[in-house]
Homo-oligomer: A and B are copies of this chain.
Amino acid sequence: MPPPIPPPVPRLSDVARAAGTSPITASRALRAPDQVAPATRARVEAAARALGYVPNLLAGALASARTHTVGVLVPTIASSIFAATINGLTSVLEEAGFAILLAQSGYDPAREARGLAALLGHRPEGVVCIGAPLSPASAAMLAAARRAGTAVVETWEIPDAPIGAAVGFDNHAVGRAVAAHFAAAGRRRLVFAGGTDPRAAARSAGFAAGARDAGLPAPARLRLPVPAAMDNATEACRTDPRLATADAVFAATDIHAMGLLTGFRALGRAVPDAVAVVGLGDLDLARHTQPALSSVRIDGDAIGRRAAALILEGGGDPPPRIDLGFTLIARASG
C-alpha cells in the first residue's frame, strides 16, 4: 500500500480563489477587516471557514518581520515558585495575540545558551528571562538581540547592569529583612538554606548583612540542590549539624521551608519554639502547612504581567528597572 498522501493544507490563495478575490485582498480581509468592503470581507471569511484555513504564521512573519512571538526562558517550570509569573506573563501576551516559546535552562549555563539560541532563531519580538543569564555567552546573545530590536526583560532580580528592562525585587533586601525579623524575635543562631542560583546567593548575602547589622553571629549557609525539592531540605535536617543547633532558618523558597518543617518534626525540634522557619514565595501551601509558614511574599503574577506589558511596548526606552517589592508575612512558623 502506498503511503497515504496527506491532503494539502489550504493556503491563502485557495481562500482567495474560493472568495473570488486576489490573495492580497483576502489577506487584508482577515487581518485588517475594515480596509475591505463588508461584502468582500464576508465572502472571504466564509471561504476561510469553509476550507478550514489556518494562516501560516511563519510565512506571514517572514514577510512582515513581525513574528508575534515572545520567548520565555525559565530555570524550570517544575518548581511552582515561578508558575505565577509564567501565568501572568502568558495571560497578557496571549491576550495580545502573541505566541509563547518556552525554554528551560535547568539552572545549567550550557543548556541555557542552547535554549536561548533556539529561541532567538525564531526571531521573537521579545525575550523574558527569569533571572539574569547564567553565562556570558547567553548574555552576549541577549545583548545582540536587543541591539537588533528585540525587547528584553529580566525578572525576579534587578541586576546591576541589566541587558534590557528588569522587573523584580531586591533579593539582598529580602535577606536583610528576614535577618532583622529574626533578630527582633530574639533569635541568634541563623541559617540560610537555599539553592546555588544567583538569586538565592543574593538573599544569602543580604541575610548575612542583616545579621551583622543586628550584632548577630554570621549565619551558616546551607547549599541545597536546584531545582528546589522538599525532600532535600528534609534530608538536610538529618544530616547537617548546623540545622540541629539553629534557632532560625531562612529558606530560599517555600518548597525548602516546607521540607524543613517535616525534617524538624522528625527531629522533635518544635517550630517555632525551638527553631523559626521563614520561606519565600508565599505559595498557597504556606497557609496550609502545620504550623502555617511565615514567608516573604513575592507577587509573581504582577512580575509576569509587568514584564509582558514591557514587551508589548518594545522594552521601554530607556528600559526601566522596576522594583515590585516584597512583604514579610509572619505566620506561626516564626
Contact with B along A273-291 (1 / 0, CB 8 A): 0000000000011011110
Say yes or no: is A47 at the interface (Cβ < 8 Å to chain B).
Answer: no
Contact A58 B61 (CB under 8 A): yes
A interface: dominant SS: helix
Q: How many copies does the complex hold?
A: 2
A253 to chain B: closest CB distance in Å?
12
Across the interface, A83 reaches (CB within 8 A) one of B61, B77, B265, namely B77
Identify the closest chain B residue to A284 (Cβ): B230
Decide: A290 near B287, CB < 8 A? Known: A57-B121, A78-B83, A141-B54.
no
Instruction: Report the separation of the CA atoms of residues A7 and B144 in the bound assembly, to the nearest whole angstrom.
Output: 10
Contact A87 B94 (CB under 8 A): no
Across the interface, A77 reaches (CB within 8 A) one of B58, B77, B261, B290, namely B77
Which residues of chain B come closer than 8 Å to A115, judged between CB atoms?
94
Contact A7 B99 (CB under 8 A): no
Which residues of chain B come closer than 8 Å to A140, judged between CB atoms?
52
Q: Which residues of A120-160 have CB atoms within 8 Å of chain B's CB atoms?
A: 120-123, 140-141, 144, 147-149
Say yes or no: is A9 at the interface (Cβ < 8 Å to chain B).
Answer: yes
A38 to chain B: closest CB distance in Å?
23
Contact B103 A101 (CB under 8 A): no
Contact with B along A62-92 (1 / 0, CB 8 A): 1000010100100011111001101100110
Say yes or no: is A329 at the interface (Cβ < 8 Å to chain B).
Answer: no
Decide: A148 near B258, CB < 8 A? Known: A61-B58, A62-B59.
no
Contact A287 B100 (CB under 8 A): no
Could you show 23 A-B contacts with beta carbons less than 8 Å apart?
A52-B140, A56-B62, A58-B62, A58-B123, A69-B122, A77-B87, A77-B90, A78-B83, A78-B84, A78-B86, A80-B80, A90-B102, A90-B104, A94-B103, A94-B114, A99-B103, A99-B122, A100-B102, A100-B103, A231-B284, A231-B287, A289-B289, A290-B290
